[in-house]
Structure 1
Amino acid sequence: MASTDNALKTASVLAFERKLDPSDGLFHAGNWDGRDDTTAWKPVTLREKSVRGTISNRLKTKDQDPAKLDAAIENPNLQTVDVATLPADADTLRVGFTLRILGGTGRPSACNNAAYQTKLLSTVQGYVDANGFGELGRRYAHNLANARFLWRNRIGAEQVEVRIQHLEKGQPKTSWTFDALQLSLRDFQTPNGVEKDINSLADVITTGLAGKGHVLLQVTAFARIGAGQEVYPSQELILDKATSKKSKTLYDVQGIAGIHSQKLGNALRTIDTWHSEADTLGPIAVEPYGSVTTLGKACRKPTDKLDFYNLLDGWLLKDKAPPPDQQHFVMAILVRGGVFGEAGKD
C-alpha cells in the first residue's frame, strides 16, 4: 500500500482483554460410583518426597578429566520434589473450575488511533455478520467436552466424565454430561449421539462471545485413574532456582492442589487446525506465531505470511480479507486477548 499521510496505520497502543476467563481448577479425590455425592470428595493436597536418583542428564564430556567425569556420574542424584496422589481408598480425580464467556470480541481495551479502531470494529462486525461465532464456539465446546483441560491427568484414565452447567443467578439453567473419551483430541469431528449436546453448549458459548447474555459455566471433570495413583497439578515456574530447596514445586490454592487458570485457558483455545502443519501436529493453541514451546517450533512464521500480524494488517490496512479459515484464526486471537500494538522504533 502506498505510504501517504492519510494512510491507515496500526495503532502503537493496541490491547484486547481475553474473552474466555477460567478460574483455577481445584483437585478433589473420591470414588467413581460416588460422583453424585458432593460431600464425599476430599481435597487433594501436596506433600514433599525426597528421592535418591541417578545422574542421567547429558554431560559435557569435551576436555573433561575422566576421573572427575566418572565421579560425577557415580554420585547419586538427591532430590526433594512435590507430589500429589489420590488416597489409597479413592480411585477418581475430580477437577472443577468456572468459566466466564465475555462479549465485546474485537473491541480493544486500549487503542490510541481512532481511525484504526473504527476500521477494526467494522471489520470484526463484517466477520460476525458473515460467520457469527459458531465455528469458534463449537471448537471451544468440543475442548470442554473432551476434557483436554485435564492434560496429563486424562492420559490412561479408564473413564472420564465431564459435567457442565450454565449458571444463572447461581442456579443451573442448563446442564450437559459428556463421556470425554468418546471425543477426539486430534480433530473436532463429533460422534453420533453427542452432536446435539455439543451444539447446544456451543450455542451458549456463542451467545456469550456475541455479548447477548451473561454466560458463566461450572465445569466438573471426573477421571477414573486408580486408587492411590499420582495426579498432576500445575508445576510452578521457579525463576530463582538458587533459593529453592525443591527440584519440583507444584501449585496449590489454600492447600488444595490445582491447575493454573492460564493452563486451562491454553487447553480451551487449542483449536488452531488452520496452520500449515495441522496434518502432523493436529490442533495447537491459538498463538500469534503458532508457537508450540514443547516442540520448540512456530507453525505460523512471519516468512509464510500466516502469522496473526500479517493476516490482520492485510485485512485492515490493505483490505485483503484472509481465507475464511484464517479469519477464524484472527478472531480466535482477539478472543485470546493480548497486546498487539505497532512496535516502536529504537
Structure 2
Amino acid sequence: MNPFTFVACRDVPAALQLAGEGTRFIAGGTNLIDLMKVRVMRPTRLVDINGLRLDAIERTADGGLRLGALARNAATAWHPLVREHYPLLASAILSGATAQIRNMASNGGNLLQHTRCCYFYDTAAPCNKREPGSGCSAIGGLARQHAILGASEHCIATHPSDMCVALAALGATVHVQSPRGERSIAFADFHRLPGDRPDVDTTLADDELIVALTLPAADEFRAHSVYLKLRERLSYAFALVSVAAALDLDGNTIRAARLALGSVAHKPWRDPAAEALLVGQPATDASFARAADALLQGAVPQGAGEGSNAFKIPLARRAIVRALALATAGTVTNHPEDAP
C-alpha cells in the first residue's frame, strides 16, 4: 500500500475543499481499501466523510424517497420505508456481499465500486481499465464473468453491484455537490459504457461528492417485483446474471413494466423500449420472451474456448422470463422478516 495522508471532515464544504485529483473520499471503504492493498488504486490522500451526516432516509414531497449517501446498505435494506415502498431495492441490497460488508458499505460507495474482473486486480496483467493503452487480457481470455452487452474492443468488464440494478430499474437520480455547486444526474447517465476510455467508470467529476439518491414514487410496482440473482454459489459471490423486474398489473394485463439486468455490461442494463413491449400485453411467458429478446438485442459472447461466456446469453434470457413470471405471481423478497 502506498503512503497517503488521512483527513477526517465534519461538513460537506470542508470535504469539498480537499477534493480533486489524487484524493479519494472514504466511507465504508469496502472496495477502496482492497484496491489499495493490491496497489490498483494509489490515492495520495483519503478524506473520511463519515462525519458529514448524510445518512438520513426520508420521504420526499412528491411521494418518493431520499436515501442519504452515507446510509449503510444494511440500514437501507432494513428501513421500513424501503421495505414497504421499494421491496425490489431491499431484495437487491440483501442479495449482495455479506452481512458484515453490508453493515459497512455506504449507498454512495455502492455506486462507485469497481469491476471484479480478475485481470483488473492483477497488476501483472495488461488492463485498459487500470492502465489505459496497455490492452485487455480478458478479451480472448477467461471471460466467464464478463460483458455480453455494451462492451468495446478496449474492455469487456462488468459492473458488480446488485443495488445499482434495482436503482436503474426504479429510475433513481444521483445528487452530487462540488465547489461549483450542486447537480442531479439521472441514474441511466451516471455509469458509462467503456468505449475507448474504460478507465472512466462514471460521469462523476474528481471534485464531486455524492450526497444522496432519490427514488420516484413507485407504489404501483411494489406488489409485483423481484430481484433474481444467478451465481455460481449461494454464499458471497458476484452474479453471472441478475434481473430486477417489476410490473404494474390490471388483472393479467401489464400496465407498466420495469426491467434491468446486472453483470452483463459495464453498467446496469436497462432499455425502456424493451419495457414498452410489455405494456398492454398479457403477463405470459410469450410476452416475457419478446421483452427478453429486445433487452438482449446485440448481445455478443466474449472470451475463448472454455473461458467463453456464450452461456450468459441464453441464461439471461431464461432469467428475464423467470423473473417476470415470479413478479406476476406477487412480490418475492429475500428479507429475513418476510420468511414464512
TM-score normalised by length of structure 1: 0.27
What is the TM-score with the length of structure 2 in the denominator?
0.27
Larger relative CO (CA 8 A, sep 6+): 1 or 2?
Answer: 1
